[in-house]
A and B are shown apart, each in its own frame.
Chain A
């Protein structure tokens, strides 16, 4: 059995571990092996292990990835792996980041649905083939893993920037015909800390494990906010 040479970021330094190589091994398997067999003090975070919960994202060989569905085959270079916490977020310990700011920005971008129908009202009818439904569908599968946020250079340079995930979420709601908070939401996502700050580097789209393009959504928000500003509705 071959061995994988793994360097794990722990605070300011890296710690090296030799991990047995297995077939179909994921990066999360590697981290779990270290924690269970080599060093129980290693802190990391995961939950579902099947790419649904968005808990286990880390920096793997320099790029943010969901570790539960990243195979070692795909990312190891000459049998070496370097694993660290996600970028752009404060580190609590080892591979665990503090996601508060990330989720606070979702709230700041008005990422919650606001309906106006009451219990007695009829169902809203949204045609599956309508443009709005299609645009919302394109961004709706986000699992809040923070990979796009860690990949974004604008977040790194401008800490107030809401970031790709929050803006993508806002975009799905802008395209929700039932939502009653459209003006507030456009106000929340406009300007220097919002969609206008995006430089279209496309790092978020490149790295999103769900194949979402936050860049496209942000471009939509740019157009929507400009339209609202020109019509005096911002």
Chain B
């Protein structure tokens, strides 16, 4: 039960981080494509840039925390899937999400 409360807290906290991250991400996206920037030009700016690396790493970690906890409630309420099997599946989902996200972050950085 304590874990459930902490999960809720983690989802709230990660939502706060995501609100900021999504804003920065979208604003940058809109700003970057206005002049018809190509993928190569974008990569030229992100590669080796530690600030963008840190920002998108934080973004991916926040998603990794946030999405599985939300999905946990959806699976419980919509499919009636509760208990250990659900949590095991969500751990796998979280790991895959984190791995794919960080892979993308590294590709844009290195």
Contacts and interface: CB of A to CB of B under 8 A. Distances in A.
Interface of A: 154, 157-158, 187, 190-192, 194, 196-197, 199, 222, 225-226, 228-230, 234
B20 interface: no
Nearest to B11: A196
Nearest 6 Cβ contacts at the A-B interface: A157-B77, A191-B4, A191-B1, A196-B8, A229-B5, A226-B9
Given A154-B77, A157-B78, A158-B76, A190 B9 contact: no
Contacts, number: 40
B78 to A, nearest CB: 7
8 contacts: A157-B77, A190-B4, A194-B1, A196-B5, A197-B73, A222-B8, A229-B9, A230-B9
B interface SS class: helix
A interface SS class: helix
Contacts of A234: 1-2, 5
B110 interface: no
B1 A226 contact: no
Contacts of A199: 73
A222 B1 CA distance: 13
**B-side interface size class:** 10 to 19
B6 interface: yes
A202 B8 CA distance: 18
A226 B7 CA distance: 10
Interface string B68-81: 00000100111000
Contacts of B6: 226, 229-230
Contacts of A158: 76-77
Contact of A229 (B2, B76, B78, B82): B2
B66 to A, nearest CB: 15
B13 to A, nearest CB: 10
Given A187-B1, A234-B2, 5 more contacts: A154-B77, A190-B1, A196-B4, A229-B6, A234-B1
Nearest to B4: A191
A9 to B, nearest CB: 26
A157 B75 CA distance: 11
